[in-house]
Amino acid sequence: MPAGSVVLLRGFVHGMECEAECELLARRLPSNAAVRYSQISILKTDPALPDGNYGVVFDGHFVAAKKTRHLWVTDGEVTRVS
């Protein structure tokens, strides 16, 4: 398991011709890591968002996610965005 603390962050989900704010939990990695976060869990966003593929942007990072039957699952690696 990666070292670091679990933090609550705010971000945005984009996709399915929609955009909404979200709250997520992430493991913050040590400051010398190339990517600052891992293990992303989306906790709260607009429940009216349709099922489908989304991008999640938070604190200068991006992760792909999918909403299916009101559940969010992140898909792939967290990357930095400029």
Rounded to two decimals, what is the model's pTM? 0.89
| Residue of 82, 35, 30, 27 lying closest to 60 (CA atoms) | 82
pLDDT in tens, 24-79: 999 998 878 778 999 999 999 999 999 999 999 999 999 999 999 999 999 989 99
Helix, strand, coil shares of the chain, percent, nearest 5, are 0, 70, 30
